[in-house]
């Protein structure tokens, strides 16, 4: 079967093909760094007090209702969201499993060393740094091409199935998730709105620079039009 070199595409490969695509010495460390950094960025946004990302608003709301820690609630939501992958035919991989295991833990670890922001200057710094980190590390782990995390898999799966632009799909998801989290007691602030508006453009900036070029089957379908 013919192989093609693809420097700028996210592919919907199955777990075996992901591992057979080579360059694991580059892709696995990038995946781990991306997931740990992603978890740290999540907590930086929470600790800013200006409003976290939509999924984190939902996590806060469920944690508030159940008494679970933020990290354990994050992992619980990740497992539940994976069920929605079935009709979308989204392909899991090593990154999917490690996302469930590492993001919540990294968030909890970060909370041990990063106290809540005090004063507006500190809040803005926390938020600005956290939002850039959030987009960059998201792109970094997705670019490793070893499987998306549960939440990003919903985004890429819906983008592929509906053929709508990734920014539109992500915005709709974040609005629905944020409102649900707020109704459950999560913190919804101006930061939540800014993240919803800025994440698409930031991902579009970082993703082409973080995707690892791999050998892929001609039958593999790209995840998003924007990543081509």
pLDDT at residue 7, rounded to an integer: 46
- 120 vs 67 pLDDT, higher one: 120
> What is the model's pTM?
0.78
CA-CA distance, 96 to 107, in Å (whole number)?
A: 17
- Long-range pairs of 62-66 with CB within 8 A, sequence gap ≥ 24: 62/181, 62/184, 62/186, 64/184, 64/185, 64/186, 65/184, 65/185
Q: What is the pLDDT of residues 125-181, one digit of tens each?
A: 999 999 999 999 999 999 998 988 888 888 878 878 888 777 778 778 878 888 898
217 band by pLDDT with thresholds 50, 70 and 90 = low
pLDDT above 80: residue 94:
yes
Do 85 and 154 meet the contact criterion of CB atoms below 8 Å apart?
Answer: yes
pLDDT at residue 220, rounded to an integer: 46
33 band by pLDDT with thresholds 50, 70 and 90 = very high
């Amino acid at each position: 079967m013919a192989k093609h070199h693809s420097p700028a595409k996210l592919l919907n490969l199955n777990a075996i093909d992901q591992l057979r695509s080579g360059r694991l010495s580059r892709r696995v460390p990038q995946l781990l760094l991306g997931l740990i950094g992603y978890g740290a960025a999540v907590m930086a946004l929470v600790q800013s007090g200006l409003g976290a990302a939509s999924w984190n608003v939902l996590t806060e709301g469920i944690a508030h209702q159940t008494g679970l820690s933020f990290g354990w609630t994050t992992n619980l939501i990740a497992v539940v969201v994976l069920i929605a992958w079935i009709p979308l035919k989204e392909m899991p991989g090593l990154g999917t499993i490690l996302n469930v295991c590492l993001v919540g833990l990294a968030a909890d670890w970060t909370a041990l060393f990063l106290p809540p922001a005090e004063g507006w200057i500190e809040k803005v710094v926390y938020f600005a740094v956290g939002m850039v980190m959030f987009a960059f590390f998201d792109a970094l782990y997705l670019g490793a091409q070893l499987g998306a995390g549960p939440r990003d898999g919903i985004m890429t799966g819906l983008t592929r199935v509906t053929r709508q632009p990734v920014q539109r799909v992500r915005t709709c998801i974040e609005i629905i998730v944020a409102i649900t989290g707020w109704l459950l007691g999560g913190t919804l602030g101006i930061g939540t709105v800014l993240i919803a508006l800025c994440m698409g453009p930031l991902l579009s900036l970082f993703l082409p620079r973080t995707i690892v070029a791999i050998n892929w089957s001609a039958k593999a379908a790209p995840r998003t039009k924007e990543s081509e």
